[in-house]
Structure 1
Amino acid sequence: MIYTVGGIKGGSGKTTISTNLVVYLLKQGRDIILVDADDQESASDFAAFRLHTLEGNLGYTAVKITGSELNASVAKLAEKYDDVIIDTGGRDTVSQRSAVSISHVYLVPFAPRSLDVWTLGKVEKMIAEMKPFNPKLVCLAFINKADPRGSYKEEVAELLREATNIEFIEASIGNRISFANSVGAGLSVLELKPTDDKAVKELEQLMNAINKAVDNKSERR
């Protein structure tokens, strides 16, 4: 499976989702490669932190690929690995479009209380433009960095439910310090000690929702 985690607004937590997805799949016994397609190299920084924390035991393969050649490179990598995760930047770039053209699943986190949700129309436009090149692409939106209080989460959810080119999944990730702390150490919340049970549960629910949405799309076809 080839996953791209993207969007066209920085600060939505794409790298946090990408790296937690990597570790989640590792724990399923999958052989994973994480492709850093972001010029800010956040996924590469995570790998450096992880190598230090785990004393050289990364657990997955990490590479950096950007530009229009990304899709051809990923197509070759997909023959050697069980899953490919592509972490893209927060802009509509050649790299992100190249990643979307080769992916099976396009994951777009939206953070409430920010301008993220106002980029929804631009994200949908990009998806519409890319669909002819990848008609089987499964596009999923969800809320990341959700505040436990206030009505922001539900207001954003309502807007995302109305989207036409991207499916909203109800599972969300909270704005928890454990996610920031784990990424800063090169770890997933699944590995962080002491364990944040709520964060782990949210991540597992999100991954289950993603798998269910992908399976449902496959059955409809």
Structure 2
Amino acid sequence: MERGIIVAFLQVKGGSGKSTLTQNLAVSFVHSNLKVKIIACDIRQRTCSKWVSRRNEYHSDKPKIFSSIQVDDLKNSVIEDSKNYDVVIIDVQGSDSKSLRTALLISDIVYIPFTPSQNDVEVIEELYGLLEDTQFQNNNRKTFYILNNCSVHYLDQSISDAELFFKDYTHILVPSQIRVYNRKVYKVASSEGLGVIEMNDLKSKIEMLNLKKEVESYV
């Protein structure tokens, strides 16, 4: 590939953990000596941009991650950045927007995070038509659903219930092999401008390094 990988995290609703996944995937890649840029599409909350600012201010010893905010001209910005960066990660705001539709058209890999609850997974019905239409226009795109903020309780059935629900959508959505669990370390790392692979929590490190491997396996 003559350009960098373009990865997007998107949803039509907030609270799915897009920004946390974006931050941690970026850190996982930058520790492999790759040049990484995050493009944030939410000009109001600016979650990833603020995280990058904290990282650059307080952790100058850590590998640098670049970022910008882009809403109006996402396509041209991402395509241009992909010529200069090994990995470009788009953090799309949680709504049906022009940025979301553009990300579906230009990304190599798309992750749609869902909390494994009935109210959350049913949002796929809002996305279904968009995914189908844009897959035809971007036929090389891999589109995954990823279960995020999963319960760590071994008796919890929400993961298996969600996976059963998504079986009706496997022609348009590939199940990610990675499950991301509800661990305090994700919030702590984000507040400090770090990624979990830079913290002392082995389970979360494994989750994010495996997510990186999954992305690499489809490039």
Residue of structure 2 in register with 1:153 after alignment: 159
Q: Does 1:77 align with 2:81?
A: yes
In the TM superposition, what whole-angstrom CA distance separates every residue of 1:52-108 from its partner, at most 9, and x where no partner exists? 3214867021111113x2111111111111111100111111011112211111111
Q: Does 1:165 align with 2:172?
A: yes
- Give the whole-Å Cα distance in 1 for the aligned partners of 2:32 and 2:13: 30
- Give the whole-Å Cα distance in 2 for the aligned partners of 1:29 and 1:162: 39
Q: Is the Cα–Cα contact under 8 Å of residues 39 and 89 in structure 2 kept in the other structure?
A: yes
TM-score normalised by the chain length of structure 2? 0.90
Residue of structure 1 in register with 2:189 after alignment: 182
- Aligned AA (1:154): S
- Give the whole-Å Cα distance in 2 for the aligned partners of 1:52 and 1:58: 12
Instruction: Report the identity percentage.
Output: 23
Aligned with 2:122: secondary structure?
helix
> Quick one: which of 198, 208, 216 aligns to 2:213?
208
Q: Is the Cα–Cα contact under 8 Å of residues 182 and 188 in structure 1 kept in the other structure?
A: yes
Aligned with 2:113: secondary structure?
strand
- The unaligned stretches of length 5 or more in structure 1 are 216-221
Q: Is the Cα–Cα contact under 8 Å of residues 161 and 167 in structure 1 kept in the other structure?
A: no
- The unaligned stretches of length 5 or more in structure 2 are none
TM-score normalised by the chain length of structure 1? 0.89
After superposition, residues 134-149 of structure 1 pair within 5 angstroms as 134-149=138-153
> Quick one: which of 59, 64, 69 aligns to 2:69?
64
After superposition, residues 1-221 of structure 1 pair within 5 angstroms as 1-39=5-43, 40-55=45-60, 59-67=64-72, 69-113=73-117, 115-149=119-153, 150-163=156-169, 164-192=171-199, 195-212=200-217, 214=218
In the TM superposition, what whole-angstrom CA distance separates every residue of 1:168-191 from its partner, at most 9, and x where no partner exists? 123201000000110111110011
Deviation at 1:29, TM superposition (A): 1.2
Deviation at 1:207, TM superposition (A): 2.6
In the TM superposition, what whole-angstrom CA distance separates every residue of 1:89-129 from its partner, at most 9, and x where no partner exists? 11111011112211111111111236220111222221112
- Aligned AA (1:113): S
Aligned with 1:33: secondary structure?
strand
- Give the whole-Å Cα distance in 2 for the aligned partners of 1:206 and 1:78: 20
